[in-house]
Chains A and B, each alone.
Chain A
Amino acid sequence: MTTATQTIEQLAGQKYKYGFYTDIESDTAPAGLSEETIAFISHKKNEPDWLLEMRLKAYRHFITLTEPNWAKLSCKPIDLHSISYYSAPKSKADGPKTLDEVDPKLLETYEKLGIPLNEQKVLAGVVAVDAVFDSVSVATTFKGKLKELGVIFCSFSEAVQEYPDLVRKYMGSVVPHTDNYFAALNSAVFTDGSFVFVPKGVKCPMELSTYFRINEMNTGQFERTLIVAEEGATVSYLEGCTAPMRDENQMHAAVVELVALERANIKYSTVQNWYPGDEEGRGGIYNFVTKRGICKGNDSKISWTQVETGSAVTWKYPSVILRGDRSVGEFYSVAVTNNCQQADTGTKMIHIGKDTRSNIVSKGISAGRSNNSYRGLVQVNRGASNARNYTQCDSMLMGNSCGAHTFPYIDVRNQTGKVEHEATTTKIGEDQIFYLQSRGISDEDAVAMIVNGFCREVLAELPMEFAVEAQKLLSISLEGSVG
């Protein structure tokens, strides 16, 4: 018997050990991280045994690891034992009672984004979704339509209950729990997220998640998302909310997996705007995300687009494994840092199949005392003949106290591979601002216009309604960055 099977057997034998939690009425997990905590979460979520085993396996691996420090970030170590790993959906009683209790700065931002008052209340946590929207019926009509086509779009927890075989087949197949520190942690303690399945030959007729803009929040700090597109299927998924959310969580460690079979096409767009901390760098979210897609079948395509303006610390490298021949991977990114924010983001393109192509466009904008790094790997394996990569990395600096860094790693093991890398660094020009101002445009609008122009190629990749909000967001996050 191999040691792996032994472990599984052992685990299988252990499972009833946690049965005693049935009697516990509490809605919050025992403090700290332990096998008990994990069993508690799994039990609360009524998960099948194999999933609990997966979690425990991940946990046992996790405790052998130490937190990585190779990214160009400096942040306080996180005390994993002070976090609560499970609490029932936030009850209204915990939140602010009226908009008056909400940080006025947050409200000001909502105003600028043009978010209707009712929606503001939901985002700030003053009222629950159903108090404002007839979300249930929206969701039902929407789901009905998708169901006709065989498209599954639901929460991860629901998928575990309703489609366990699909979840079991694909979960962890792109990001195994052994991948990295945060992926291991997530695999052990993840709470919820989204699940999308588009069957063979189906083109999903709508952008998934727009209707769920509000509903999809509060998925917790350890989010898990899985998207599978079968042969010839097409889907565009939008993650996140363009409005900043009231959120007490300190750390987010999500895992997102995408699987594209033959001729499938997955487009994944993110606008991330979590609390970045104040001007002095107090508070703010630590955002450690593992996002990866696999172009498993021939002629498949995965495209990541991200606009990252929030979080105190961002550590994120959406990647594509180009396994299928002629498969295509794309990464379009805008990362904005202001005040004391730190972002270390980029992508990995792993060329395995023949005639595979990847395209990377990264735009980093740094202001204040912030630091913004692009870190990217382009790897062409021995069998990947005629692989092509084009990388363009542009940085824009505002002021003299911020930093922009580029770390391109290139690893080509096949002589027919062609990898191109271009990088530029520009300073936002006083003369550009003066030019626009002399035409009647305010200095803040001028900066927004110059920055949006700088990011145009990336913003053009976003679905229309997202693009407009993302543009407003960029200017809001850079407010006060020009004297």
Chain B
Amino acid sequence: MLEIKGLKAQIEGNEILHGLNLTVNPGEVHAIMGPNGSGKSTLARVIAGSEDYEVTGGDILFEGESILELAPDERAQKGLFMAFQYPVEIPGVSNTYFLRQALNSIRKARGLEELTGKEFLAHAREKARLVELPDDLLKRSVNVGFSGGEKKRNEIFQMAVLEPKFSILDETDSGLDIDALRIVANGVNKLRGSDRSIVVVTHYQRLLQYIVPDVVHVLVDGRIAKTGGKELAEQLEEVGYSWVNGEMKTAQTANA
């Protein structure tokens, strides 16, 4: 589904990703953990196509084709999705209107019939139930005045409406209360499927008790430092990143 090879990316001349490799197969759920500032959000934004970053090496293949030359909207139309760590507010634009435009742009690009207002609303209502999103959040301006948790829930709602093939969720669990965490995790689990892949970026092992990953990666200093099964997350929780750091240092010294 998604294959990242030797990805190097920089922002304002500072290289943040130093040759990152990651392969996610269809139907898999991966978790990425890693210390603050290690480049997790950078990775997510580069995949989504943010123009703030310059890709200086490597490639990102989606279903076997490079997407580096594609604009963010073209990537979304192909079936990529990122849930933002910090969702953006769009004053004056209703959530429903925005999402209908989004879904219809995607459908149009795929040569599908656009949905009418009524059809869309039925679809959106069904998905809103999935993440237990209150009705009034559908009508309100996109993320304006939403609480931190509501913003995160709105991201998963969007994911549910747009039905992407590949999603990367950037710290969607941060800021959620315990009930909301369970609701969001349930929502994500319902979106799992043999033809969909999901990458969750998180700091907390707790989320991974609800969304059980097939693979866990540790991202340190712009590279995947360690990859393992779900038990890797538990180990990390116990000993912290210094353990991975130490291992990396040893590996680097050995290489030198």
Q: Closest residue of chain B to A448, judged by CB? A: B101
Residues A443 and B73 in contact in the complex (CB < 8 Å), given A449-B98, A452-B93 = yes
State whether B76 touches A438 (Cβ < 8 A).
yes
Whether A80 is near chain B, meaning CB under 8 Å from some CB there, is: no
1/0 contact string of A415-441 vs chain B (CB within 8 Å): 000000000000001111011111111
- The answer to whether B90 touches A453 (Cβ under 8 A) is yes
Query: In this assembly, does B51 line the interface, its C-beta being within 8 Å of a C-beta of chain A?
Result: yes
Which of B48, B50, B90, B158 has a CB less than 8 Å from the CB of A432? B90
A440, B77: Cβ atoms under 8 Å? yes
Distance of A431 Cα from B81 Cα, bound (Å)? 16
The answer to whether B98 and A436 touch across the interface, beta carbons within 8 angstroms, is yes
Closest residue of chain A to B89 (Cβ to Cβ) is A432
- Among B102-110, B181-189, B210-218, the one that faces the other chain is B102-110
Q: How far is the CB of A424 from chain B (nearest CB, A)?
A: 10
Q: In the assembly, what is the distance between CA of A430 and CA of B50, in Å?
A: 10
Interface of A is mostly: helix
Answer whether A437 and B88 are a contact pair too, CB < 8 Å, given A445-B101, A445-B105, A449-B98. Answer: no
| A111 CA / B88 CA spacing, docked (Å) | 33
Q: Known interface pairs A435-B87, A438-B48, A439-B158. Does A453 touch B102 (Cβ–Cβ under 8 Å)?
A: no
Q: Is A454 an interface residue (CB 8 A)?
A: yes
Cα distance A442–B81 when bound, in Å?
15
Q: Does A227 contact B (CB under 8 A)?
A: no
Selected from A435, A449, A453, the residue in CB contact (under 8 A) with B88 is A435
B132 to chain A, nearest CB (A): 21
The CA-CA distance from A439 to B160 in the complex, in Å, is 12
Given A430-B52, A434-B51, A449-B98, A440:B106 Cβ within 8 A? yes
**Chain B: number of interface residues, binned into ranges:** 20 to 34
Residues of chain B within 8 A of A454, CB atoms compared: 91-92
Inter-chain CA distance A439–B158, complex, in Å, is: 8
- Cβ of A450 within 8 Å of any chain B Cβ, yes or no, is yes
The reply on B146 being an interface residue by CB < 8 A is no
The answer to whether B34 has its CB under 8 Å from any CB of chain A is: no
Is B72 an interface residue when CB atoms closer than 8 A count as contact? yes
Determine the distance from Cα of A435 to Cα of B92 in the docked complex, in whole angstroms.
15
A455 located at the interface, meaning its Cβ lies under 8 Å from any Cβ of chain B in the complex:
yes
B 46-67 binary contact with A (CB < 8 Å = 1; else 0):
0011111000000000000000
Q: Is the CB of B101 within 8 A of A449?
A: yes
Q: Is A456 on the interface with B (CB-CB < 8 A)?
A: yes
Contact B92 A455 (CB under 8 A): yes
**B162 at interface by CB-CB < 8 Å:** yes
- Chain A residues whose C-beta falls within 8 Å of the C-beta of B96 in the assembled complex: none
Nearest-neighbour CB distance to chain A for B23, whole angstroms, equals 22
Tell me whether A436 and B90 are in contact (CB under 8 A). Answer: yes
User: What is the CA–CA distance of A429 and B91 in the complex, to the nearest angstrom?
Assistant: 12
B251 to chain A, nearest CB (A): 35
What is the chain B residue whose CB lies nearest that of A456? Answer: B92
Query: In the complex, what residue of chain A is closest to B141 when comparing beta carbons?
Result: A453
Which residues in B have their C-beta under 8 angstroms from that of A437? 49, 71-73, 76
Centre residue among B48, B105, B158 by max chain A CB count within 10 A: B105
Q: Does B82 contact A (CB under 8 A)?
A: yes
Decide: B92 and A441 in contact? CB cutoff 8 A: no
Q: Which chain B residues border A455 with CB–CB below 8 Å?
A: 92
With the chains together, A440 CA to B105 CA distance in Å?
6
Q: Chain B residue with minimal CB distance to A446?
A: B73
Contact check, A449 vs B93: say whether CB atoms are below 8 A apart. Answer: yes
Q: Interface readout for A282-312 with B: 1 if CB under 8 Å, 0 if not?
A: 0000000000000000000000000000000
Chain B residues in 8 Å Cβ range of A432: 88-90
Q: Is B84 an interface residue (CB 8 A)?
A: yes
**Which residues of A are found within 8 Å of B84, using beta-carbon distances?**
435, 438
With A430-B52, A435-B84, A445-B101 already in contact, the answer to whether A440 and B90 are too (CB < 8 A) is no
- Residues of A near B73 (CB, < 8 A) are 437-443, 446
Q: Are A431 and B72 closer than 8 Å at their CB atoms?
A: no
Chain B residues with CB under 8 Å of A430's CB are 51-52
Q: Which residues of B contact A435 (CB under 8 A)?
A: 84, 87-88, 90
- A437, B109: Cα distance in complex, Å: 13
Interface-central residue, A432, A440, A454, by most chain B CB under 10 Å: A440
Please indicate the chain A residues that have their CB under 8 angstroms from the CB of B49 in the complex: 437-438
Closest B residue to A451 using CB positions: B92
Q: Are B72 and A434 neighbours in the complex by a CB distance under 8 Å?
A: yes
What distance in Å separates the Cβ of B161 from its nearest Cβ neighbour in chain A? 9
Q: Is the CB of A450 within 8 A of B102?
A: no
B102, A439: Cβ atoms under 8 Å? Answer: yes
A227 to B158, CA, bound (A): 49
CB distance from A396 to the nearest CB of B (A): 10
The reply to whether B76 and A439 form a contact with Cβ atoms under 8 Å apart is yes
Q: Are A440 and B52 closer than 8 Å at their CB atoms?
A: no
Q: What is the 8 Å Cβ interface bit string for chain A, positions 315-332, against chain B (1 contact, 0 not)?
A: 000000000000000000
Whether the Cβ atoms of B102 and A434 lie closer than 8 Å is no
- Min CB–CB distance A354 → chain B (angstroms): 35
A450 to B162, CA, bound (A): 20
Could you tell me if B90 and A441 are in contact, using CB atoms closer than 8 angstroms?
Answer: no
Complex: how many Å from CA A438 to CA B162? 11
Interfacial chain B residues near A431, Cβ < 8 Å: 88
Complex alpha-carbon distance, A440 and B162, angstroms: 9
Binding site for B on A (CB under 8 A): 429-432, 434-443, 445-446, 449-450, 452-457
A-B residue pairs, 7 tightest by C-beta: A453-B92, A453-B93, A440-B76, A456-B92, A439-B102, A437-B72, A435-B88
Known: A437-B76, A438-B72, A438-B84. 19 other contacts (CB 8 A): A430-B51, A432-B88, A432-B90, A434-B52, A435-B90, A438-B81, A439-B99, A439-B162, A440-B73, A440-B106, A440-B162, A441-B101, A441-B105, A445-B101, A449-B93, A453-B91, A453-B92, A453-B141, A456-B92
11 contacts between A and B (CB under 8 A): A435-B87, A438-B48, A440-B73, A440-B106, A441-B102, A442-B73, A443-B73, A452-B92, A453-B141, A454-B92, A457-B92
